Chain A
Amino acid sequence: MGVMAIQGKISKISGPVVQADGVAGLEMHELTMVGEAELIGEVVRVEGETATIQVYEDTVGLKPGERVTGSGLPLAVELGPGLLMGIYDGIQRPLEVIQKMTGDFIKRGVKSPALSREAKWHFVPVAKKGSKVQGGAVLGTVQETPLFLHKIMVPPRLSGTVKSIAKEGDYLIEDTVAEIETSSGIEELKLYQRWPVREPRPYQERLEPSDPLITGQRIIDTFFPVAKGGAVAIPGGFGTGKTITSHQLAAWSDAEIIVYIGCGERGNEMTEVLLTFPEWKDPKSGRPLMERTVLIANTSNMPVSAREASIYTGVTIAEYFRDMGYNVAIMADSTSRWAEALREISGRLEEMPAEEGFPSYLSSRLGEFYERAGRVRTLNGEYGSVTLIGAVSPPGGDFSEPVTVHTKRFVRAFWALDSSLASQRHYPAINWLTSYSEYVDYVEHWWAPLTGGQWRQKTLRAMEILKREDELKEVIRLVGSEALPEPEKLVMETARLLREGFLQQNAYDPIDTYSSPEKQYKLLTSILAFHESANRAIAAGVPASKISSLPALAELAKLRMSVPSEKISIIDDFMSKLLKEIDALTEEKS
């Protein structure tokens, strides 16, 4: 480093928060080594000669008087080949390596670089000697996994002339692959770069969202879509299926890269991801989904300040992949645990609390985080996006609590998980009456060719029926279902079909777990076609009960599980039969 590191002494310890004296010059968010054990910490407050440091490891046994050493650098992540298929803790320590070093339980003061120093990567140069390059320019590529081509880029804010570039061949991560002559001298570039987690990576231009992130989940893609580069929240009490929904999105979203952050959640859930993702195959390439996934696990029993950092670690990694011109999706499960970590640290800093003990900067931190989502033109002139999906765990399932309320201000889609749906075992338990998406207008054009421009109209029609069902339920509660007029009885029947045959989706059913957009639209229009045809029958005097008892209806509700996405023409054959049966009923009458 060259610079003399600033060194001082611990003067106070309170849980994960430590105060150090004699450290004038230590910077905000500077990475520090705390105590003889060299625990990793980050400066969160400076005051004269004193600095307050949040420590990312357990502080048991730490004593006043032990030394504190600054690193001169902010908390940063390593970005380069080797990120994929890895599992890291909140400050990007590789958990697999840590296991080899300290066994099955994580001991304190363990250090390991995030990216392997031994692995060799096959580098193929792209940049030419003598050419002018700037931040974001691609120097060469590494085929990191069969699914993913890793582009080795010039770090942002660097520009100059390529003085030398490595030949195609196998290199270690720390080998120099290019030399750039800049105005201030020669920079040696390696296969990886570092970037501070709390600073968004630069891009040329922010763009409006345009394409949907296709997730294969019907209620999401059809009714409450999220655009690539969008931000969405999934709030839900415990047992409403937040984690399963997050897993489904991680598994099936059509992003090129998935960053999954397990922030303060269950250890066994991360194990489930680690075990199932290598088994699940990408629908397009047939390769294991793990090959495009980065996992960050800071489970609920791991140190709380590292939980606070895990969100930033994840989003910085995502931005790095976006800079290569890829679409990246992040699942953060759960942002409430992150907010609680903020609250805990804030309490230790003896800051003035705002609502429910959360610090008053909760809202601005949430805003900063969700604003790191977006579709951009990268420094290299390509198009890339980061889509941010944040799970929220409101206490008692109460959506009026601070984290949910503030999150709502910064996301444009809201998938409200409902405990009463969950208790009816209606999954995904996304409530269609309280959820919303402002991305519908942006993605409508994407659906047009697939649906003959009918997408919006059809989804509105279906939603109308579902809303009507909700009103009618009130009536039924008072007078019983037999008292409804015939057309209303049909509304109830169609709404049931929509719920059971479209909105519900079984994550564990091999066919139902993923629905292609074509299949989604086909299922939706089939149910609507049934409704229109049955409506005509009822107008002709056919009793609703006669239609409800058609055996084919039960089958209609099960098409989602019986018809694979690539064989949806089966649905057409089935529907023409069903519609004929209904027409026959109509003709009998008239």
Chain B
Amino acid sequence: MALPMEYNSIQRISGPLLFVEGISNVGFNELVEIRSEGGIMRRGRVLEITKDIAAVEIFEGTTGLSTTQTSVRFLGRPLTIPLSMEMLGRVFNGLGEPMDGGPPPFTEDYRDVNGLPMNPFSRDYPTQFIQTGVSAIDGMDTLVRGQKLPIFSGSGLPHNLLATQVARQATIPGEESSFAVVFAAMGIKHDEAAFFKRSFEESGALKSSAIFLNLADDPPVERLVTPRSALTFAEYLAFERDMHVLVIITDMTNYAEALREISAAREEVPSRKGYPGYMYSDFASIYERAGRIKGKKGSITQMPVLTMPNDDITHPIPDLTGYITEGQIVLDRDLHRRGIYPPINILPSLSRLMKDGIGKGKTREDHGAVASQLYSAYARSQDLRSLSAIIGEEGLTEKDRAYLKFGDAFEQRFLSQRFDENRDLEATMRLAWKMLSILPEAELTRIADHFVKQYYSRE
């Protein structure tokens, strides 16, 4: 192949986009190198091409670029990242370049960050329980290997803390292999990044992790590549190195903002709230990279984090996410205000794959029934709490008061745990039965009698 041609024919620059004229032999989505005055190098990719004009989006932003002093080279391949086992324990930027002062990984293996869609016929159904050590998740919204289960949060809620706790504690009981964690951070603040790095280092988890960081003041275009770089590495670990990989992506809201910004710069027809019409497909191209493949040992489990703008779950970002992911864990501002950590509101939370990952031989035979009973009892306690606010607790029957007591205990003892507290499933189940034992035995209608006999105990 001929050496890439260099072009100086910049037609115009608009937002993160640069338009080059008089080009030939340029491919769609190809990687581009841009050299500006003083030899500073940036990278970009081809968004649209006609016979002689290419629109290029620049990952590092267009500040300081001019139409006269800029030269452009088309590299003839899409954006790739290097892949190697040495990348574990390292920190990279969104494009896969080292940010920890170390050398770039030594490898010949480069892969297109966009990946390819997994053949639905090749997929294997996720059925293996992952113990996160968090009672609210393990007990009520169980995470399963190969699942994509997002955290729906709000600004100021401890989603980062929870994500880190899950990353640190996630194991598969009865198996030696623990998780490799691939962490993609988009548009997060410097101190948040420092927190993540520190807690990964302190827990010793860093050596089996790779961090892809794009900070809030990094260019938005790089934000669009960050999760793809991370997932390309995760796919390598899972399907070529037989590892179980937990991918944490935070914060999808920043990602969506970047998507909107670039869409607007391209003058595309907007859909809801100015986000582009293809946001669903775009999200899916990230989330659907979770899963298992028949005949392969490894797996990719995803836990994306997003902050709901204005705590609105019907906002396009959580809404489109919820349509693609297999459930959601919803954090609640009210619980947080009352000092409960993790402030998981179990009522709107859901794990769609839970039913296939729990029960006899996987967790415990009574798990499903107990979760269902806890859910309905907690729902009832919440109704009663609002009722008692009107008519006072004296107006309630004794049974109702037991439900109120249950609701408080459930929040204070079952939901609440310390950031460094790792509860195994047995501990979670023990605690669950302790909570249920606050209620009269006859109320446990969703649990088979022999389990009630075995586990129910009045204190």
Interface residues of A (CB under 8 A from B): 11-15, 19, 21, 58-65, 87, 95-96, 98-99, 102-107, 237-239, 262, 264, 266-268, 270-272, 274-275, 297, 299-304, 337, 340-341, 343-344, 346-347, 350, 353, 356-357, 393, 395-398, 423-425, 480, 508, 554
Query: Which chain B residues border A87 with CB–CB below 8 Å?
Result: 120-121
A sample of 6 more A-B contacts (CB under 8 A), given A268-B146, A268-B326, A270-B123, is: A64-B50, A64-B51, A95-B119, A104-B122, A267-B291, A357-B272
Given A61-B27, A87-B121, A299-B117, A266–B277 Cβ distance below 8 Å? no
| Contact B49 A107, beta carbon cutoff 8 Å | no
One of A58, A270, A347, A395 near B316 (C-beta < 8 A): A395
Q: Which of B51, B121, B125, B323 contacts A238 (CB 8 A)?
A: B323
The main secondary structure of chain A at its interface with chain B is: mixed
If the complex has contacts A238-B319, A267-B288, are A60 and B121 also in contact, measured as CB distance less than 8 A? Answer: no
* Contact of B340 with A by CB under 8 A: no
Is A340 within 8 A of B146, CB to CB? no
- Asked whether any CB of chain A lies closer than 8 Å to the CB of B324, the reply is yes
Interface pair B27/A357, CB less than 8 Å apart: no
Identity of the chain B residue whose Cβ is nearest the Cβ of A14 in the assembled complex: B48
Please state if B319 and A99 are interface contacts (CB–CB under 8 Å).
Answer: no
Query: With A11-B50, A425-B372 known to touch, is A104 a contact of B119 (CB < 8 Å)?
Result: yes
B443 close to A (CB within 8 Å): no
Write the chain A residue with the least CB distance to B53: A12
CA distance in complex: A268, B347 (Å): 24
Q: State which size class the interface on B falls in.
A: 35 or more
Return A428 CB to nearest CB of chain B, in Å.
15
Q: Are B28 and A301 in contact (CB under 8 A)?
A: no
- Quick check: A268 and B125 within 8 Å, CB to CB? yes
Q: How far is the CB of B81 from chain A (nearest CB, A)?
A: 15
**A105 with B322: CB separation less than 8 A:** no
Binding site for A on B (CB under 8 A): 24-30, 47-51, 77-78, 112, 114-126, 146-147, 239, 268-272, 276-278, 280-281, 284-285, 287-289, 291, 293-294, 296, 314-316, 319-320, 322-324, 326-328, 347-348, 350, 352-353, 355, 372, 375-376, 379, 391, 445
Chain A residues contacting B50 (CB-CB under 8 Å) are 11-12, 19, 64
Contacting residue for A397 out of B47, B125, B291, B314, CB 8 A = B314
Q: Given contacts A300-B284, A347-B269, is CB(A272)–CB(B125) below 8 Å? A: yes
* Known contacts A61-B30, A268-B326, A105 near B116 by CB under 8 Å: yes
Query: Contact: B121 with A96, CB < 8 Å?
Result: yes
Structural contact, B115 and A105, CB atoms closer than 8 A: yes
B120 touches A264 (CB 8 A): no
Are the C-beta atoms of A343 and B271 separated by less than 8 Å? yes
| 15 sampled A-B residue pairs with Cβ under 8 A | A59-B28, A60-B27, A64-B24, A64-B50, A105-B116, A267-B123, A268-B291, A268-B353, A271-B124, A300-B284, A347-B278, A353-B269, A395-B272, A396-B315, A398-B314
Which residues of chain B are within 8 angstroms of A239 by Cβ–Cβ distance?
A: 322, 327-328, 350, 352
Residues of A within 8 A of B123 (CB): 267-268, 270-271
Asked whether A395 lies within 8 Å of B319 as measured between CB atoms, the reply is yes
Nearest Cβ distance between residue A132 and chain B, in whole angstroms? 44
Which of chain B's residues have a CB closer than 8 A to the CB of A64? 24, 26, 49-51
When A and B form their complex, which 3 residue pairs have the shortest distance between CB atoms, in order from nearest?
A396-B314, A300-B284, A301-B288
Asked if A65 contacts B118 (CB within 8 A), the reply is: no
- A163 CA to B78 CA, complexed, in Å: 57
CB <8 Å contact, B120 and A297: yes
> B121 is contacted by which of A11, A95, A237, A350 (Cβ under 8 Å)?
A95
